[in-house]
């Protein structure tokens, strides 16, 4: 995964790696905003029988969110993000998990189309998220199980309304 986007390596030439990226990926993610030399989060595909440290991520980016506020102190680092597509907020739950640029994180507080994440030093040291500034556009992946539950409940409620 590159910044949370599931990509297949097309070629490797010494230290350069190339990927084929389709228009849909460029439309829905932040990859179109990258410039030569930008740092990205890279993660290899998980192998069966290996330990998974964190939440399962698919690399299926759903939308983006911009960093709206950064609160740093001696023992705390909190990012507030504003989601691009407000209709995607139905998948974001307090204490649920979310993928931000491929980093599996736990959602903190939620307010309208804003949500926050709390970052620990290990995450700040191993990823690019602590180097980002206000206005940076992150890739957002929500848990596919959450999506299925939300869609199922919506369908059942819609069906119930039709029957009444």
Residue 3 within any structural domain of the chain: no
Task: Give the pLDDT confidence of 25-66 residue by residue, as tens digits.
Answer: 999 999 999 998 899 999 887 777 877 766 777 889 999 999
Classify residue 1: in a domain, yes or no. no
Q: Would 92 be classed as within a structural domain?
A: yes
pLDDT the model gives residue 143: 87
User: Residue 53 domain-assigned?
Assistant: yes
User: 130-164 pLDDT, tens per residue?
Assistant: 999 999 999 999 988 889 999 999 999 998 888 87
Q: State the total domains in the chain.
A: 1
Query: pTM, whole model, 2 decimals?
Result: 0.89
Q: Does residue 2 sit within a domain?
A: no
Q: Is residue 156 part of a domain?
A: yes
How far apart (Å, rounded) are the C-alpha atoms in residues 162 and 164?
6
pLDDT score at 58? 84
Residue 131 lies in a domain: yes
The secondary structure of 110-145 as a DSSP string is EETTEEEEE--HHHHHHSSGGG--TTPEEEEEE-HH
Tell me the CATH number at 75: 2.40.30.20
Domain that holds residue 21: 9-163
Distance CA 96, CA 105 (A): 8
Predicted confidence (pLDDT) per residue in 97-138, tens digit: 999 999 999 999 999 999 999 999 999 999 999 999 999 999
């Amino acid at each position: 995964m590159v910044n949370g986007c599931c990509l297949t390596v097309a070629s490797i030439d010494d230290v350069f790696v190339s990927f084929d990226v389709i228009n849909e990926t460029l439309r829905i993610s932040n990859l179109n905003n990258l410039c030569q030399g930008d740092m990205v989060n890279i993660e290899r595909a998980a192998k069966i029988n290996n330990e998974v440290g964190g939440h399962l991520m698919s690399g299926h980016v759903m939308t983006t969110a911009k960093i709206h506020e950064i609160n740093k102190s001696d023992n705390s680092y909190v990012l507030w993000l504003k989601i691009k597509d407000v209709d995607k907020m139905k998948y974001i739950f307090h204490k649920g998990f979310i993928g931000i640029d491929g980093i599996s994180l736990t959602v903190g507080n939620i307010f309208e189309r804003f949500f926050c994440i709390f970052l620990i030093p290990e995450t700040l040291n191993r990823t690019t998220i602590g180097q980002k500034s206000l206005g940076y556009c992150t890739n957002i992946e929500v848990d596919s199980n959450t999506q299925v539950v939300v869609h199922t409940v919506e369908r059942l409620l819609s069906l119930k309304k039709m029957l009444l």
